[in-house]
A and B are shown apart, each in its own frame.
Chain A
Amino acid sequence: MELSGEEKKLQALFSELKAADEQSAPHFARVWNRVQIAPRRIRAFNPVFVAAAVVLLFGVVAFAVWSRYSRTVSVPPPRIAEAPPANITTKPTEPSPATTLLREIKPKQTSLTARGNRPSTRHTTLVAAADRKLAKDAKSIASWTSPTSALLESPSDEIFGSLPELNQSATQLKSFLPSRSN
């Protein structure tokens, strides 16, 4: 391709620039030796290191937030469970509310096994302590008696509380009755 007049001028200017650059260029051996001698710099802003650090930081923060959140979660309401009949102290047909609450409390073993797979043992301990406190409160409610319950007592409570022994009374009556001869 033939160059025009202006292109030739440009070529000449670039040639002059090239000649000057060649004069000022550092020796290859100098640059090469410096490369070989120079210690490997530890890159502070290596993108791989930065990305790894960010991921690690995010993981730590996420774990911290998660553990904090799971600690502050309130204890779930006790589930209604079938209580054994041996625990009932009053009539089976009409259990008192306190006894019902006591029966509603799930055994501690169940809650512990449900949380057994959680990584934080401290969290499990805290939940178990909360369960124990709840059970203690329920027991105290079950043993509670009204202060006016004494007023409801009467001397005839024994009569209402016991049944007449009909067979014995009949025998006693028979002995007093006159014998019929006809």
Chain B
Amino acid sequence: MDIAELKSELEKLHSASFGWALSCCRRDHAEAEEVLQTVYLKILEGKARYRGESSLKTWLFAVIRKTAIGEYRKRLVRSLVFIGSDEKRDGAASLADGPTKIFENSELQKQFRGALAKLPARQREALHLVFYEDLSLSEAANVMGISVGSARQHYERGKKHLREWLSHTETENGIVWRRKETPSTV
């Protein structure tokens, strides 16, 4: 696959990739953008090569996940070494939060984000890949680099946690569900 072809494929997957990067970066827009940029750079430099062993989306998501983990570790080390680096990040985050202001206003979505953030990383990833990215469990397992059985366990546990959160929220707020229902690929 040449660069032009790869570029067009990446462009198609860009918004989904950004959503996945957001999930991997704990909903930090600036960090997610940086991770995505690093991933594209890796692809351009040939450090990440698509060999056709899985679908392009699965491969790309696996690269994004690995890159996000690597960037998080680097950031952690930098934060230990350079204390003043947080100021820049705060500013970038506030700028990136601008377009999502309307979405932020939704109280339920805020709570949902909070509930997602409280979940263990693996459970959050499994739920995101299945519900958000419409991937099957085997594809999700491939992205996460674990077996299908483990992915299913994370998915079920995460779903159980969110169900508990939902029932708690519904009883507390009396929310009526009138949202679009889409079939799942699970």
Tell me if chain B binds chain A.
yes
A interface residue numbers (CB < 8 A to B) = 1, 3, 6-18, 20-26, 28, 31-32, 34-36, 38, 45
B interface residue numbers (CB < 8 A to A) = 7, 10-11, 14-15, 18-19, 22, 29, 33, 36-37, 40-41, 44, 74, 77, 96, 99-100, 102-103, 106, 108-109, 112-113, 127-128, 131-132, 159, 162-163, 166-167, 177, 179-184, 186
- Contacts A11-B182, A35-B40, A36-B44 given: A17-B99 contact, CB under 8 Å? no
26 interchain pairs (CB within 8 A)? A3-B186, A6-B167, A8-B177, A9-B166, A10-B127, A10-B131, A10-B162, A10-B163, A11-B182, A12-B182, A14-B128, A14-B132, A15-B182, A18-B132, A20-B109, A22-B18, A24-B96, A24-B103, A25-B14, A25-B19, A26-B18, A26-B36, A31-B36, A32-B11, A35-B37, A35-B40
Most chain B CB atoms below 10 A, which of A12, A15, A16, A31: A31
How near does chain B come to A31, taking the closest CB pair, in angstroms?
5
Contact status A12-B181, CB under 8 Å:
yes
Cα distance A67–B36 in the bound complex, in angstroms: 51
Contact status B96-A1, CB under 8 Å:
no
Question: Residue of B at shortest CB range from A34?
Answer: B37
Q: How many A-B residue pairs have CB under 8 A?
A: 101
Select B179's contact among A1, A9, A23, A26, beta carbons within 8 Å: A9
Q: List the A side residues contacting B15 at CB < 8 Å.
A: 21-22, 25
Cα distance A139–B18 in the bound complex, in angstroms: 89
Cα distance A1–B181 in the bound complex, in angstroms: 14
Cα distance A144–B127 in the bound complex, in angstroms: 99
Contact status B128-A11, CB under 8 Å:
no
How near does chain A come to B181, taking the closest CB pair, in angstroms?
5
- Contacts A23-B100, A24-B29 given: A13-B109 contact, CB under 8 Å? yes
Select B14's contact among A6, A28, A45, beta carbons within 8 Å: A28
- Contacts A1-B184, A9-B166, A13-B112 given: A28-B10 contact, CB under 8 Å? yes
How near does chain B come to A29, taking the closest CB pair, in angstroms?
8
4 more A-B residue pairs beyond the given contacts A12-B182, A16-B179, A24-B100, with a C-beta to C-beta distance below 8 A: A6-B163, A17-B132, A26-B33, A26-B36
Q: List the A side residues contacting B44 at CB < 8 Å.
A: 35-36
Select B37's contact among A10, A15, A31, A45, beta carbons within 8 Å: A31
Q: List the B side residues contacting A34 at CB < 8 Å.
A: 37
Cα distance A16–B180 in the bound complex, in angstroms: 9
Contact status B177-A9, CB under 8 Å:
yes
Select A20's contact among B36, B103, B162, B177, beta carbons within 8 Å: B103
Q: List the A side residues contacting B29 at CB < 8 Å.
A: 24
Question: Residue of A at shortest CB range from B100?
Answer: A24
Q: List the A side residues contacting B106 at CB < 8 Å.
A: 16
Most chain A CB atoms below 10 A, which of B29, B40, B41, B131: B131
How near does chain B come to A182, taking the closest CB pair, in angstroms?
133
Contact status B100-A8, CB under 8 Å:
no
Q: List the B side residues contacting A6 at CB < 8 Å.
A: 163, 166-167
